[in-house]
Structure 1
Amino acid sequence: MQVGLLKILAALALVSLSACSLPRSGPIASELVGEQNVPEDIAVEQVTRASAAKIAAWPKSGWHGHYHWFARQSGPQSRLIKSGDLVTLTVWDNQDNSLLLGPTDRSVPLRPVEVTDAGTIFVPYVNDIMVAGLTPYQAREKIQSQLSPIAPSAQVQIDVTSGPRNSVDVVTGVVTPGRLPLTDRNVSILSIIAQSGGISPSLENPLVRLQRAGKSYEIPLDSLLKDPAKNVIVSGGDQIIVEEDDRYYIGFGATSDREQIYFNEESISVTEAITQLGGLDSQRANPQGVFVLRQYDQEDLRTDGTGPSQRHVVFAFDLTKADTLFGADSFEIQPGDVVVSAESAVKPAQAVIALVGSLFAISNVFD
C-alpha cells in the first residue's frame, strides 16, 4: 500500500513541477531580461532614484510631453464693450422742445447699433463715439457727457448685447453646445461648461481644450476640477472643445487586471500604474521583476547619456529595494508604454512542495 502510494506521490510531484511550463499570464523575469534573451538593439535600464531623475530629462515618447495650460487671472467684474456688440440707447429728457424727443415724449429708444471694427457707435447729433474698451457704465457716462451741449438735462440708459468677441463658443463634448455671452470679465471655464449642461455623459476620460488667438491649450478634466488655480477666466472669442483623452498604456502579467488603461491625469508614475492595474498578485507576482517597455523615435537616440541609446528600452524595477521604490514613484509612464509584472519562479515551486507535503500527510493516514 505504502509503496504504491509513494509511486503516486512521485508521479504527482513530476506533474506538479511541470506546471511551471504551463501557460502563464506573464513572463518570468529571467525570460524577459536574461542575458541570452535581450537582442542587441534593446537596451535594459535598471531604475533607481538617480537613474529615474536622469531618465526624466530624456525626450518624451508617445506625445509632446506635457499639457499646455495657464494660470488663472481675475479681472474687474464689469465686462468691456468690444467690436461686434450691439448697443441700444434709451435717452430720457424732460426739456421742452428737445431735439431728441417729441413734444409729448419723455424717452426715446434708439435702434440697436453694432460697435464697428474701429470701436465706435453712431449717436445722433454727436456723430461717432468710441466705446470699445469701456464698461457699459463708462460708455453711458461718455455718451451722456457728449450729449449735454444739445440736451443738458438728458439722461442715457444703455443696454449691451454681446457679440462674437464678447461670447464663448462651446463646440462639442457638452450636453448643449452653442455660443454663450459673457456677463462679465470673471466668467470661468467651469462656469461655461456648467452653463452648457455639463460634460456629455458619453465621454470617458474627458480632456478640455481651449483655443484662443490661434493657440491651443488642454488639460484633463480631473486636473481642472481638483485645482482651483486652473479654473481659468475665459475671454471673448474663446472656443472650448471637450473630447476624450486618447493617451493610454497597457498592463499585463502578474497583476490583478490586464488591460488598456487611459490616462486620467497629466502624469502617472509606475507605482500609480501598478495601483490602477489592481496591484501585484500576491500568489504569482515577482516584486523584483516589474518592467516598463518603451519605444522611442529614431531622432530621440543619444550617445552621450542624455537620451536612450536604442529605440527599444526595457526599464527594470526591483520593488523590494527602497531606492527603487522611490525611483518608481517619480518615474513617469508615457503613452504607449507596456507595464509588465513578471511571474514568480519561486511561488509555483512552493505550491508544489506544499502539495507534495499534503500528499505525504495523506499517505500516513493509510499506513
Structure 2
Amino acid sequence: MNRCFAAPLLISLSAVLVGCTVVPGLDLGMDQSRHGAPTEVGGFDLIHVTPAVLVELASAEIPVHGTENLRPATDLRAPDSDSVVEQYLVGPGDVLSIIVWDHPELTNPTGEFRDPESSGRLVGADGKIFYPYVGELEVAGRSVSDIRRLISSRLARVVREPQVDVRIAAYRSQKVRVTGDVAAPTVLPVTDRPPTVLEAITAAGGLTSEASRRLAILTRGGYEYRLTLPGGSRPPYVSDADLVLRDGDVLYVPNSDEQSVFLMGAINRQASIPMPRGTMSLAEALSTVEGLDPGAADSSRVFVVRAQAARGTPKMQVRPSIYLIDMSDISALIMSERFLLWPRDVVYVDRTGLATYNAVVSQVLPTVSTLFQLDRLLDDN
C-alpha cells in the first residue's frame, strides 16, 4: 500500500523536475529559422568571425550608447556656430583697473598700496562704472579697448592728452560649469583667454576612476553636443579637447556604466563590465571575468550579440547581428584580441552537451535519492 503511494509520487515529482529549468545559469537556444529572415519578424544575421570580418568592423565607427539625440561637435566648429573666440566683453560683476599715467590721483584715489582688484572699478548690475571727471560710463558689452578710448575722450576735457590704460582686474561676469564624474565639480570664470574642454576638466581635478574616457556632453544655448575626449580616441585620434568654452556652457562628464558590456553563459563569473574608453577587446573582457569555465564551456561557440549599428547608420537600418567565434582554434584567440566590443554588447559562451547533462543530473539526483529513501521508509513500515 505504501509502495503504491510512493512510486507514483516519485514518478510525478521526477517528471516535474525534468520539465523545469534545472540547468544553473543562462541556457539559450537559437532559432535557426530566423537567421537571414527580415528584421520585422525577428530576423538576425549570424556572422562567423574571420580576419576579413575584423577588417570590415575596424572601419566602422563605434557608437556611444545614449547619445543618439545629441548634436555632433562638428556643429560647434562650423563658421556660423559663433564658436570663434572673440574679444572679451565686460559685464556686470567684473572689476576694471584704470590707470591714467602721470595722474596718480585718478589712478589710485584710495591709496597706492591696495591690490588692483580691491581698488578697481566694479561694474554694477546696470553695467555702469563711475570715474572722476567722467561720471557714469556704460561699459557692459564693451571690450577693454573700447572702454579705454571712451575714457580718454571724456578725460581730454580736463586732462591734456591723457594716457589711459584699462585692464580687467577680476573676471566675474562670465562662467562655465564642470559637472559629472570629475574629482571636484566646479564653476570656472571665463577670462580673456577662455578655457578649453581639457583645461576645464583639469581645473575640476580630472576624471574619476568611473568616468567615461571617451565622452563628454556640452550644453550650449539650450542644445546638447557630443564631445570626444582624447582618452577614448581611436585612429585617427580625433578629439574635442581643444574646443574653447564660453559663457553659460555646462560641461558634463558621464559615468562609464552606460557604456557597459554583459558577459553570460559558461564563464567563471557572470558580470557587467563598464568600458571607460568606450570599447575593449573580447579577450580583455573574458579575462576580466576569469575566462571560460573549463568544465562547462563550449569554446567553439562564443557568441557576441549586437543589437545596434555603427554611428551614423539610420535607425531604420539597424539589424541584430550575432558574431560567432570558435575559440578552440589558436588563431581565433588572436582574433579575440582584435575583436572590439561595442557598448551594450552581450557576450554569451555556450555550454557543452555533457555540461548540460551533468547540471541536470546534479540537481535531479538529490531529489530522486530522497524519494527513494522515503519509499524505503514507507515500505519498512
- Check whether TM > 0.5: yes
AA of the residue aligned to 2:279: S
Relative to structure 1, the CA distance from residue 283 to residue 72 in structure 2 (aligned partners, 3 Å threshold; closer, same or farther) is farther
Contact 1:66–1:266 (Cα < 8 Å) also in 2: no
AA of the residue aligned to 2:153: Q
Match of 1:236 in 2: 247
Match of 2:196 in 1: 188
Relative to structure 1, the CA distance from residue 197 to residue 222 in structure 2 (aligned partners, 3 Å threshold; closer, same or farther) is same
Aligned residues: 308
What is the CA–CA distance in structure 2 between the aligned matches of 1:25 and 1:344, rounded to whole Å?
13
Relative to structure 1, the CA distance from residue 343 to residue 37 in structure 2 (aligned partners, 3 Å threshold; closer, same or farther) is farther
Pair 1:113-2:123 in alignment: yes
Q: Which structure ranks higher in relative contact order (CA pairs < 8 Å, sequence separation ≥ 6)?
A: 1
What is the CA–CA distance in structure 1 between the aligned matches of 2:58 and 2:270, rounded to whole Å?
26
Aligned ranges 1:88-107 → 2 under 5 Å: 88-92=96-100, 94=102
The C-alpha deviation readout for 1:190-223, integer Å capped at 9, x for no partner, is 433343445568x565764322233323458782
1:289 deviates by: 0.6
1:288 deviates by: 1.8
Relative to structure 1, the CA distance from residue 260 to residue 161 in structure 2 (aligned partners, 3 Å threshold; closer, same or farther) is same
Relative to structure 1, the CA distance from residue 238 to residue 160 in structure 2 (aligned partners, 3 Å threshold; closer, same or farther) is farther
What is the CA–CA distance in structure 1 between the aligned matches of 2:103 and 2:341, rounded to whole Å?
75
What is the CA–CA distance in structure 1 between the aligned matches of 2:64 and 2:249, rounded to whole Å?
30
AA of the residue aligned to 1:290: V
Match of 2:94 in 1: 86
Match of 2:279 in 1: 267
AA of the residue aligned to 2:167: I
Contact 1:257–1:278 (Cα < 8 Å) also in 2: yes
Match of 1:214 in 2: 222
AA of the residue aligned to 1:212: R
Helix, strand or coil: the match of 1:32? coil
The Cα RMSD (Å) is 5.5
Decide which moves more: 83-92 or 225-234: 225-234
AA of the residue aligned to 1:167: K
Match of 1:247 in 2: 259
What is the CA–CA distance in structure 1 between the aligned matches of 2:57 and 2:109, rounded to whole Å?
84
Pair 1:317-2:325 in alignment: yes
The C-alpha deviation readout for 1:6-56, integer Å capped at 9, x for no partner, is xxxxxxxxxxxxxxx9845565xxx73475998984535123355563898
What is the CA–CA distance in structure 2 between the aligned matches of 1:34 and 1:105, rounded to whole Å?
87
AA of the residue aligned to 2:224: S
Contact 1:172–1:243 (Cα < 8 Å) also in 2: yes
What is the CA–CA distance in structure 2 between the aligned matches of 1:129 and 1:178, rounded to whole Å?
31
The unaligned stretches of length 5 or more in structure 1 are 1-20, 350-367
- TM-score normalised by the chain length of structure 2: 0.57
Match of 1:356 in 2: none
Identity of aligned residues (%): 17
Match of 1:162 in 2: 171
Relative to structure 1, the CA distance from residue 60 to residue 204 in structure 2 (aligned partners, 3 Å threshold; closer, same or farther) is closer
Contact 1:286–1:344 (Cα < 8 Å) also in 2: yes
What is the CA–CA distance in structure 1 between the aligned matches of 2:226 and 2:164, rounded to whole Å?
47
Contact 2:279–2:340 (Cα < 8 Å) also in 1: no
What is the CA–CA distance in structure 1 between the aligned matches of 2:196 and 2:331, rounded to whole Å?
43
What is the CA–CA distance in structure 2 between the aligned matches of 1:104 and 1:234, rounded to whole Å?
37
AA of the residue aligned to 1:161: A
What is the CA–CA distance in structure 2 between the aligned matches of 1:300 and 1:287, rounded to whole Å?
33
- TM-score normalised by the chain length of structure 1: 0.58
